[in-house]
Amino acid sequence: VEKLADRPEGIKPEDSAGFENLIPLKEILGEVVKTGPQSAKVDREYFRLLNEFGSELYILRELPTEEIKKSDLRMLAKALERMRSGKVDINPGFDGEYGKISLIGGKDFERSDQLTLF
């Protein structure tokens, strides 16, 4: 393959198409509501979002996160912002185990409106 390469690694032609990394909406919702992507709760939210905002690709790529923040899924807005900016935690799989993709860490789930003692 290296003998066939006509340019240095990492260089792409100006007219080449770009790409986006997307995570399925059901997987994001599963992480946000802390259940599996095939759960009834995720299905309910998934179809509610499709009815309210349109297609899954529109929600993942273009829907302003302010619109989602108006609904009751603020953490979904945060997860979409992280996915769109490429701030994704990837834990590779090994020995037959699938890898895991995460958009929201544990402390992201803490209530932001909760009062602190100190």
pLDDT confidence tier of residue 107, bands split at 50, 70 and 90: low
Report if residue 7 sits inside a domain: no
How many independent structural domains does the chain possess? 1
Instruction: Look at residue 82 and tell me whether its pLDDT is greater than 90.
Output: yes
3-class SS shares of the chain: helix, strand, coil, % to 5: 40, 5, 55
| 76 membership: H or E segment, kind and range | helix 74-85
Q: Is residue 16 assigned to a domain?
A: no
> Could you tell me the residue range of the domain that residue 39 belongs to?
25-109
Measured at the CA of 45, the angle between CA 42 and CA 50, to 5 degrees, comes to 120
Asked if residue 75 belongs to a domain, the reply is yes
Per-residue pLDDT at 77 = 94
pLDDT digits (tens, 9 = 90+) for 42-78: 999 999 999 999 999 999 999 999 998 887 788 999 9
Q: What is the pLDDT of residues 83-93, one digit of tens each?
A: 999 999 989 99
What pTM does this model have? 0.76
**What local confidence, expressed as pLDDT, does residue 69 receive?**
87
* Residue 118 pLDDT level (bands cut at 50, 70, 90): very low
Assigned domain for 1 exists: no
Of the pLDDT bands very low, low, confident and very high (cuts 50, 70, 90), residue 115 is: very low
**8 A C-beta contact, residue 74 and residue 89:** no
Is 11 inside a domain boundary?
no
Domain contains 67: yes
In a domain, 73, yes or no: yes
Question: Residue range 14-23: average pLDDT?
Answer: 85
Answer whether residue 64 is part of any domain. Answer: yes
